[in-house]
Structure 1
């Protein structure tokens, strides 16, 4: 465990030096990537400090118990040892989880789409409930949401709605929400008190990467065509259609 943490610390020290270099700061894309890595490594470093502190407390308590000359100190050392050893397994599990390589997509912002499924008007109402639930959750996480497009249901809610979510580790958190969601309840549109099953589909798409496309003008072919068929004067002699290939 400590060997792996030392390797991570070396990378953390390296990244800490890089993000203050002028050439890195001037490269916004590189700076953002390194700053994100710094935050991830900082979390592991905090756990490392806690781990080393627990190890020191265990060593100290064991030394006091081995000496045994002071009964009061020995009793306190027993309590300290039990407390430290009890906290160690959970901390080790946290460190192991943090050391697992993350999906690079997890840090991206997302576009979510909620679409009403089976269930008629009640499915649209359910889709609206899901949208409010997700926006409230995003608000609690400090994420920003922005509606891109929507189509309202006839009795409330949405037939479909698309919105952006921007923040930290958005895709890594929300990607597991993708799929079909179902609810069984007495809908607002029901007059007989019967329980209905309604469904809505949730899609979670990571933000696309920016990229540049270079097209050599020599590789572009442009064809001009005259209109065909019956028409007025000059209709068959005017180049009114263009095709790019």
Structure 2
């Protein structure tokens, strides 16, 4: 399928606020997306995913009954009849560090930041459905907490985890985000601007994580992050 054949793309919008849900669906249809379904929470979304073919899920996170993280986790761990590789866009305000971190680990295909504009929505839909159908972190999915807390304590820095000891191989401190490459291992936590952990030390960087980091660049604190490059990757 053409990656941006609007009339052929099946989209599921998951949003608990009726006005926001109807407005977003209406906006998508006005811009040429003809096959758009809607659900009021994760439970309703799962019911649709179990009966209808869906190419892209655009989900809010903070919802009753079953929140967005629970829904994303169910899709990624094959607890629905939809493919675990289904494209997913997480709708967020970028204010909840734990939620953003969970979405990163569950390998969402794009972040859509509220308030949502037509241009931004179309750009992120194109980005999401263009992502290669690959998952790199399936071994981490089971450990993802689906609890959501929007209280102020969630915005405080997390307790620092012990830094990984330096290893006897090539490592350096990248000056900019652009110097991070796939197959590098970060040796220090990558944090959000409020000090909360986004990616833990020891994470192996892949292309999907890199693209999400670029999307979140305005709220990512990047500096003095040690990176390990395995010797096999430095041989010319």
TM-score, normalisation: structure 1: 0.25
Structure with the larger strand share = 1
Larger radius of gyration: 1
